[in-house]
Structure 1
């Protein structure tokens, strides 16, 4: 089966979030990409515990830096950068085949340089106004992947 999407975590900090994202990638047929620096070791027990017995099947592609990953981006597909600052809602986008869904680190999101460079590509996940600023990283990835899956694989 073809890859549904590419999920990119830029400098993730928390191993159990990355483990959960890996599980979601497997569930929806996506390829996980991790951009260094990482806030944990890939051999972390917390990472493997969150990924359960699925982690061995995730096979993430690990990139040494954003510039190294950015060089491969044109081959992977059209990129969408997730940020609470995004003007476009996830549900307003008609995703192309094999989109590249880019997420920032848990504490601060995407680096400001990427938010500025790709301002027209920023996407937000809508939520009710209130005290919650944003979703947990692994929850945000799951919501985004479910929408891509709905658009591309669920019969109309």
Structure 2
């Protein structure tokens, strides 16, 4: 059915703007769980999303309970505490709704939420000297892994604006 990105209490406007742009480019809906560390009307969001906000689909939620009360499907959590690599999850069932859930930049997803979903907590493999990657980079990695497993549904594999044969001309 659909691939979704969930941002739990995001704090940094450029990260959310970049995520909105990535999701607009990949037909992925974004779910934003309050409180946000910024206003969606700020110029920073629009700059980061490169004026693609009109193509981004997003919904705002008051809190985690509001989000889970209105959405059903597979909840996949990215956390530095996960014990499996992100690529271990199977996204090939295109009849399923997948929710890729990411925490705030400073504190992640609360332990109370993660402890109820240990079987779907994943991490991006990295060396022991680095705590985490930038949030917008993490979202892009997971979105494209899920889309790769689904063979990039409804996405163009060739340049559309200048034409597929632009380099050959």
Q: What TM-score results when the alignment is normalised by the length of structure 1?
A: 0.90
SS in 2 for 1:153: coil
Report the counterpart of residue 8 of structure 1 in structure 2. 6
- Decide whether the 8 Å contact of 2:28 with 2:57 is kept in 1: no
SS in 1 for 2:71: helix
RMSD over equivalenced CA pairs, Å: 1.5
Distance in 2 between the 1:56 and 1:15 partners? 17
Q: Between Structure 1 and Structure 2, whose CA radius of gyration is higher?
A: 2
| Residue ranges of structure 1 left out of the alignment (5+ in a row) | none
1:133 aligns with 2:131: yes
Distance in 2 between the 1:130 and 1:123 partners? 16
Report the counterpart of residue 40 of structure 1 in structure 2. 38
Report the counterpart of residue 88 of structure 1 in structure 2. 84
Q: What TM-score results when the alignment is normalised by the length of structure 2?
A: 0.84
* 1:91-102 correspondence runs (5 A): 91-95=87-91, 96-97=93-94, 98-102=97-101
| Residue ranges of structure 2 left out of the alignment (5+ in a row) | 154-169
CA gap of 1:154–1:68, structure 2 versus 1, over 3 A, is: closer
Bigger proportion of residues as helix: 1
Length, aligned pairs only: 150
Deviation at 1:33, TM superposition (A): 0.6
1:124 aligns with 2:120: no
Runs of 4+ in 1 over 2 A off after TM superposition: none
